[in-house]
Amino acid sequence: MKDLTIDVSNVAPDVTLDMINAEKENVQKQLETLTNKTGKGNDFLGWLDLPEEISPDQLMSIEKTAARLRGKADYVVVTGIGGSYLGARAVIDALNDSFDQLKGGRKNPFILYAGQNIGEDYTYELLDLLKDKSFGIIVISKSGTTTEPAIAFRALKELLETKYDKDEVKERIVAITDAKKGALRTLADQEGYETYIIPDDVGGRYSVLTPVGLLPIAVAGFSISELVRGAKKMRELTAINVPFEKNPASLYAATRNLLYKKGKKIEILVNYQPKLHYISEWWKQLYGESEGKENKGIFPASVDFTTDLHSMGQWIQEGERTIFETVVSIAAARHRVLIPRDEGNLDNLNYLAGKRIDEVNKMAELGTRIAHTDGGVPNIRIELPELNEYYLGQLLYFFEKACGISGYILGVNPFDQPGVEAYKKNMFALLGKPGFEKETEAIKKRL
């Protein structure tokens, strides 16, 4: 069976194969630090062994809960922000029919999202949609006090309580939270909600293989056992005993850090499959929040090709040469559509008649990679044989493992996010939250 592959041959002349191989000793040292859990942030490395530690009984429990929600609700609202929703959305959007919401005869609920913003119009429109619909809630928060999801959950819970009695509300809410403490844990215990635990040693952006990601994915009707199986295989392919030149996570971490040293400060994650848009969003949080510290770190950006070739293509081709691309490519499309012949041929496309649309897409990818490489944009390519749960499991774990190695190469703690708190303190002070009086006075002096 084929696996995820990585090609770093198109990063020259900025970075040569000899330069990559010269990093072997250092990268292996960082991989050992990660594997042995002896580096910075080692109390947040529970995700490393998740693929091996998730038991069939745990998966069965999640599937049972998912089946209950599927049986009760036409809509399930995943309420969380950052890593509490991005991993699940990445997988669900990648596997869903692109026009799922417009088609009838559904077997599974529509998965909607709340608490990922503070948009009043968004919240109003969501509540307006749900007021005469059958819905349930998966609320995800370790503390239960994160502003965005806490506001959304208040509003959604209130609506649910106007539609159903207390026992039915209890059946329609699942809380994924801390094992013992926090506002959401307290509420769930008081109200009798079913709960799943966010492990203490797994940070939000690494949590897709916990119930945080697995429950919404299962509710959407996708195989979480296959997702975990793919991650388990990638854990083997990136293990400490795998030779450097065959370890995709080590190669990726080494290459992107060498490019960074060469002045390539921006990494653009590229896909040619629109279903991967939220994979890119998940990836941006993973790498941005993990590496952007101490005035260091590659800036993670993303584009959806060929769509964005008509908006960003010019800048990428001829703009400032501070970028490199990592292309995620899918070897085989899931469906088959042939381009028809047209007798008039006014669009001059008959030379493509009889070809699959995916063949045209693949040639667009190859042509663009050549053009961008010729234009001074180094290019890493990651290929998945197919777009399914198994290979998405491989991809997600690959990026997580490579991120840990890469952060250690950079010399930062890839598992904390101290900078995220700065905006929160200012927001709380401006809103008059109790306990932030000093910050409020300080801000008033600046305004």
The two tokens of residue 17 are: 């194969």
Confidence (pLDDT) at 51? 96
Q: Do domains 5-24+243-387 and 47-222 have the same CATH topology?
A: yes
Residue 277 known to be catalytic: no
Fold of the domain spanning 5-24+243-387: Rossmann fold (3.40.50)
Q: Does domain 47-222 have CATH number 1.20.140.10?
A: no
Tokens of 35: 């594997």
Catalytic residue at 401?
no
pLDDT at position 100 is 82
Q: Check if the beta carbon of residue 201 is closer than 8 Å to that of residue 90.
A: no
Q: Which two tokens stand for residue 136?
A: 């349930």
- Catalytic residue, from 289, 325, 365, 400: name it: 289
Of 103, 107, 166, 310, which residue is the catalytic one? 310
What was the pLDDT predicted at 21? 96
- What integer pLDDT is reported at residue 335 of this predicted model? 93
DSSP letters along 53-85, please?
H--HHHHHHHHHHHHHHHHH-SEEEEE--GGGT
Please name every residue paired with 173 in a beta bridge, in sequence order, or none if there are none: 137
Mean pLDDT, each 10-residue run in order, the chain (447 residues): 95 96 97 96 95 95 97 96 95 92 80 95 97 97 92 96 95 96 95 96 95 97 98 98 97 98 98 96 97 97 96 96 98 94 95 95 96 96 98 98 98 87 74 74 72
Run of H or E residues at 114: strand 110-114
Please tell me the predicted confidence (pLDDT) of residue 86. Answer: 96
Residue 40 annotated among the catalytic residues of the structure: no
* H or E element, residue 136: strand 135-140
Tens digit of each residue's pLDDT (9 = 90 or more) over 358-413 = 999 999 999 999 999 999 999 999 999 999 999 999 999 999 999 999 999 999 99
Is the distance from CB of 406 to CB of 291 less than 8 angstroms? yes
Give the pLDDT confidence of 76-92 residue by residue, as tens digits.
999 999 999 999 999 99
CA distance 248 to 270: 18
Task: Give the β-pairing of 379-384 and 5-10.
Answer: antiparallel
Q: What is the pLDDT of residue 419?
A: 67
For residue 379, give the H/E element and its range.
Answer: strand 379-384
CB 7 within 8 A of CB 370: no
Torsion of CA 329, 331, 336, 339, to 10 degrees: 70
Name the active-site residue from 131, 296, 424, 444. 424
Give the start-to-end residue ranges of the domains of the chain: 5-24+243-387, 47-222
Pairing of strands 135-140, 110-114: unpaired
Contact 424, 150 (CB under 8 A): no
- Alpha-carbon distance of 188 to 173, in angstroms, equals 9
